[in-house]
């Protein structure tokens, strides 16, 4: 039976989750159970984000994976910014997580804290939506857009049409919600600022940080920082902020749930969510098996999309989502997005410390 710690029970997310027994509800991460026979399938400790994303991942994929394989899945809440925790675990020699949901920029900025993917186990990569998204240390899990501009139509005086409106507090008054999520914010907010200032998407990199932060500093009095995507959703839905930088799924969850929220696809950056494995994970092989399992199960991808609106990892998953009548998800807006290029990822990897230092000085100053 799947175990959970440090993550709230999913309320109404799935009948599967509703029936789960909760065990080990302490502040410590669960430790693998070494008891039982040597032939036992073992465990998988999965760090998932809080809120609807983690709930959907558990209900549509991790629970079915456990049922299909007999591998006991233990859930811990890993938040929305994993690198600092994984760094600490790896440095201490006490790695407690086997699998994390993350983004390529997190992995490429600190590749040495992640395991190489074993492609003798993970073989079902031929049908990925982005064929270049099975990399040395991560595999595509779902297709997203971030940064994306979302707005509360009851609070904004006019509907924004792009990042220039996000930075125009005189034209459209109101607070702006922005994430403070380490490396993800450190490149995403300068990108949004430069697009707002007229830089063409194919001329963004290398980032002109001085130009970007000149705009960000002007906007700072109108910024409300948040540390988890769920907080960003709350700020936007309540009207505490007129606009927010969110992922597409988090924004569309609000819109589809009846909140007065809409999104601007133009200028959002195509951003893969991926699965990666911390360096030294005690059950790394089971994590590889999970990756193989979800790639081979397009219906589980469609079920995940139905809950989150994030696009499926494979073309078969896209077909399953469309067949299920899901009308709007990220993969259908590819032509409106700024591509996630190898140039971008290489730049973030090479300049990660500079980006982080500049962002931290801004967000914490």
Looking at the structure, do residues 314 and 226 belong to the same domain, yes or no?
A: no
Looking at the structure, do residues 139 and 276 belong to the same domain, yes or no?
A: yes
pLDDT number for residue 40? 59
Residue-wise pLDDT for 79-94, tens only, equals: 767 888 999 999 999 9
Domain span holding position 53: 3-144+271-328
Looking at the structure, do residues 241 and 152 belong to the same domain, yes or no?
A: yes
Mean of pLDDT over the chain: 87
Residue whose structure tokens are 């430069």 = 194
Looking at the structure, do residues 53 and 175 belong to the same domain, yes or no?
A: no
Looking at the structure, do residues 210 and 140 belong to the same domain, yes or no?
A: no
Q: Are 309 and 248 in contact (CB under 8 A)?
A: yes
Looking at the structure, do residues 89 and 103 belong to the same domain, yes or no?
A: yes
Looking at the structure, do residues 235 and 353 belong to the same domain, yes or no?
A: yes
Looking at the structure, do residues 347 and 225 belong to the same domain, yes or no?
A: yes
Q: Are 142 and 273 in contact (CB under 8 A)?
A: yes
DSSP string, 185-221: HHHHHHHHHHHHTT--GGG--S--HHHHHHHHHHHGG
DSSP state at residue 351: T
DSSP state at residue 10: P
Q: 203: pLDDT confidence band, cut at 50, 70 and 90? A: very high
> Who wins on pLDDT, 31 or 177?
177
Looking at the structure, do residues 54 and 179 belong to the same domain, yes or no?
A: no
Domain at 322, CATH number = 3.40.190.10
Looking at the structure, do residues 280 and 254 belong to the same domain, yes or no?
A: no
> In percent, how much of the chain has pLDDT > 90?
72
Residue of 44, 49, 45 whose CA lies nearest to 8 = 49
Residue-wise pLDDT for 269-297, tens only, equals: 998 889 999 999 999 999 999 999 999 99
DSSP state at residue 330: G
Looking at the structure, do residues 128 and 151 belong to the same domain, yes or no?
A: no
Looking at the structure, do residues 36 and 117 belong to the same domain, yes or no?
A: yes
pLDDT number for residue 301? 97
Q: How many domains does the chain have?
A: 2
pTM for this model (two decimals)? 0.76
């Amino acid at each position: 039976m799947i175990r959970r710690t440090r993550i709230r029970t999913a309320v109404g997310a799935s009948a599967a989750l509703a029936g789960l027994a909760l065990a080990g509800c302490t502040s410590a991460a669960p430790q693998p159970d070494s008891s039982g026979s040597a032939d036992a399938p073992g465990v998988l400790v999965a760090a998932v984000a809080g809120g609807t994303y983690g709930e959907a991942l558990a209900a549509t994929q991790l629970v079915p994976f456990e049922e299909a394989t007999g591998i006991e899945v233990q859930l811990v809440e890993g938040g929305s910014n994993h690198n600092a925790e994984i760094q600490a675990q790896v440095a201490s020699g006490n790695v407690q997580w086997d699998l994390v949901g993350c983004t390529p920029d997190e992995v490429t900025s600190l590749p040495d804290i992640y395991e190489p993917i074993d492609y003798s186990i993970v073989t079902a990569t031929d049908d990925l939506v982005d064929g270049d998204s099975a990399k040395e240390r991560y595999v595509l899990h779902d297709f997203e857009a971030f940064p994306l501009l979302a707005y509360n139509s009851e609070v904004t005086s006019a509907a924004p049409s792009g990042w220039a409106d996000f930075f125009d507090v005189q034209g459209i008054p109101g607070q702006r919600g922005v994430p403070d999520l380490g490396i993800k914010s450190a490149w995403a907010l300068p990108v949004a600022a430069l697009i707002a200032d007229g830089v063409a998407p194919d001329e963004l990199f290398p980032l002109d940080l001085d130009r970007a932060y000149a705009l960000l500093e002007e906007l700072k009095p109108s910024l409300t920082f948040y540390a988890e995507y769920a907080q960003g959703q709350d700020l936007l839905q309540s009207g505490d902020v007129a606009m927010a930088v969110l992922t597409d799924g988090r924004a569309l969850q609000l819109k589809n749930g009846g909140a007065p929220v809409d999104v601007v696809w133009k200028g959002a950056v195509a951003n893969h969510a991926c699965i990666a494995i911390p360096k030294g994970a005690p059950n790394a092989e089971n994590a590889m098996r999970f990756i193989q399992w979800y790639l081979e199960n397009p219906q589980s991808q469609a079920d995940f999309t139905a809950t989150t609106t994030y696009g499926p990892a494979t073309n078969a998953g896209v077909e399953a989502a469309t067949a299920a009548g899901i009308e709007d998800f990220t993969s259908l807006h590819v032509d409106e997005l700024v591509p996630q290029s190898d140039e971008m990822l290489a730049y973030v990897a090479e300049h990660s410390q500079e980006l982080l230092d500049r962002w931290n000085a801004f967000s914490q100053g």
